[in-house]
């Protein structure tokens, strides 16, 4: 029984890690967070602007100095736009991302706790896993 329970817990943990890794790459929710933090949506019009945006790393905020002021720019390549914020908006963005990450971690911990508290013995069997060709 303990072996089955341990195996199920391990599989659940691996599945949650895979899900978390999938969510961490290219997350459009970061665009939503930036907009909520006050970033402005701009559309590059001139050829130089389009070229400059194309050089920026995808799904990442990059500090850009323009006329003595630092702006924080994140390209939205799927829509051909950029999100632009100032220092104060970037600070709010960072705070909101941290809150979202903590919220996601708390959700994952609650899900794992729920998995651990389930009575897996109700599924029947003596707690042994059938493996063809294996005899205890």
For residue 131, being part of any structural domain is answered with no
The parent domain of residue 77 ranges over 2-117
Q: What is the pLDDT of residue 126?
A: 52
Three-class secondary structure assignment of the chain: CHHHHHHHHHHHHHHHHHHHHHHHCCCCHHHHHHHHCCCEEECCCCHHHHHHHHHCCCCCCEEEEECCEEEEEEEECCCCEEEEECHHHHHHHHHHHHHHHHHHHHHHHHHHHHHHHCCHHHHCCCCCCCCCCCCC
Our CA dihedral for 69, 74, 77, 80, rounded to 10 degrees, sits at -40
More confident site: 55 or 130 = 55
> Between 62 and 31, where is the model more confident?
62
Predicted confidence band of residue 100 (pLDDT cuts 50, 70, 90): confident
In a domain, 21, yes or no: yes
Using the predicted structure, report yes or no on whether residue 119 has a pLDDT greater than 60.
Answer: yes
Residue 125 lies in a domain: no
CB atoms within 10 A of CB 127: 13
Mean pLDDT of 115-123: 64
Q: What is the mean pLDDT of the chain?
A: 73
- Is position 133 within any domain? no
Is 134 a domain residue?
A: no
Burial 47-83 (b: 16+ CB within 10 A, else e): eeeeeebeebeebebeeeeeeeeebbbbbbeeeebbb
Query: Residues of the chain with pLDDT > 70: what percent?
Result: 62
What is the domain count for the chain? 1
pTM (two decimals): 0.55
Model confidence pLDDT, tens digit, residues 35-92: 888 999 999 899 888 888 888 888 789 998 989 999 999 988 677 889 999 999 999 9
The confidence score (pLDDT) of residue 89 equals 93
Only one residue has tokens 């389009």, namely 50
Residue 63 lies in a domain: yes
Q: Is 34 within the bounds of a domain?
A: yes
Confidence label for 26 from pLDDT (cuts 50, 70 and 90): very low
Measure the CA–CA gap between 1 and 51, rounded to whole angstroms: 61
């Amino acid at each position: 029984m303990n072996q089955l329970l341990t195996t199920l817990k391990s599989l659940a943990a691996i599945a949650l890690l895979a899900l978390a890794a999938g969510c961490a790459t290219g997350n459009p929710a970061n665009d939503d967070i930036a907009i909520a933090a006050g970033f402005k949506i701009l559309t590059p019009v001139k050829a130089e602007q389009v070229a400059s945006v194309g050089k920026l790393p995808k799904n990442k905020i990059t500090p850009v100095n323009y006329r003595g002021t630092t702006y924080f720019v994140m390209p939205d390549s799927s829509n051909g736009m950029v999100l632009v914020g100032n220092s104060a908006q970037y600070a709010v963005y960072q705070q909101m991302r941290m809150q979202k990450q903590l919220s996601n971690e708390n959700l994952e911990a609650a899900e794992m706790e729920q998995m651990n508290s389930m009575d897996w013995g109700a599924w029947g069997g003596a707690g042994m896993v059938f493996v063809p060709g294996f005899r205890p």
